A = this chain, B = another copy of it.
Amino acid sequence: MDRRTQILHTAGRLFSQRGYHATSMRDIARALDLQGGSLYTHIESKEEVLWEIVNRAADRFLAHATSIDPDLPPRERLKALVRGHLTVIAQELEHATVFFHEWKFLSPELQERIKARRDAYEAHFREAIESGVQRGEFKVEDPKIAALFVLSALNWTYQWLRPEGPLDLEALTERYTALVLRALGGEA
């Protein structure tokens, strides 16, 4: 792991535990056993660290979504979206927590960039649902609200999903997929 990645890793842990504002650059340096000054040879500011963490998490979510073949049947697309989302959260719980919690402490310009990426991500869910409605696979009155419902159910898992917990990612994905597909009026 290069030094920059180590910094992001450690900062992600501290931000997710204490929050962005309660973590100083000195705290990050101390946790890495670095002199405060030498941190600045790798990273310009605390906001740069936050941006990298949040933006890389957005990369991960989007990479999963865009890797899904849009020609798959909507039901299969939705299943792959649910699996991808839970996988990113489980694999990167700390960075996902920072992504969900701390992004609002970015500057307004950077917040806009993240919002645009979140909208693009949400569109993958909405389009899969709309296409399922058109093909008669799903029955949903309002695909926008249905997409928000599904994403809400997925996002909040960062609060309770523990990859080392009694329910492994595979089992959780299976149960979540069944609940999501039924909510959309599809077969589970």
Residues in B neighbouring A180, C-beta threshold 8 A: 183
B152 in contact with A157 (CB, 8 Å) = yes
Residues of B contacting A176 in the complex (Cβ-Cβ under 8 angstroms): 145, 149
A178 within 8 A of B: yes
Is the CB of A32 closer than 8 A to any CB of chain B? no
Q: List B contacts of A21 (CB < 8 A).
A: 18-19, 21-22
Look across to chain B and name the residue whose beta carbon is closest to the beta carbon of A156: B152
Chain B's nearest CB lies how many Å from the CB of A33?
25
In the complex with contacts A19-B19, A152-B156, A182-B185, A175-B105 CB distance below 8 A: no
Chain A interface mostly helix, strand, loop or mixed? Answer: helix
Chain B residue with minimal CB distance to A152?
Answer: B156
Task: Give which listed residue, B22, B146, B155, B178, contacts A152 with CB less than 8 A.
Answer: B155
Most chain B CB atoms below 10 A, which of A18, A152, A176: A152
Contacts of A18 in B (CB 8 A): 21
A21-B19, A182-B182, A182-B183 known; A172 vs B145 contact (CB < 8 Å): yes
Choose from B142, B156, B178 the contact partner of A156 (Cβ within 8 Å).
Answer: B156
Query: Apart from A180-B183, A182-B182, what are 4 other A-B pairs with CB-CB below 8 Å?
Result: A21-B21, A145-B176, A149-B179, A151-B156
5 closest residue pairs by CB, A with B:
A152-B156, A183-B183, A153-B153, A21-B22, A21-B21
Q: List 21 A-B contacts (CB under 8 A).
A: A18-B21, A19-B19, A101-B101, A141-B178, A142-B175, A145-B172, A145-B179, A146-B175, A149-B153, A149-B179, A151-B156, A152-B152, A152-B153, A152-B159, A153-B156, A155-B156, A156-B156, A179-B184, A180-B183, A182-B182, A182-B183
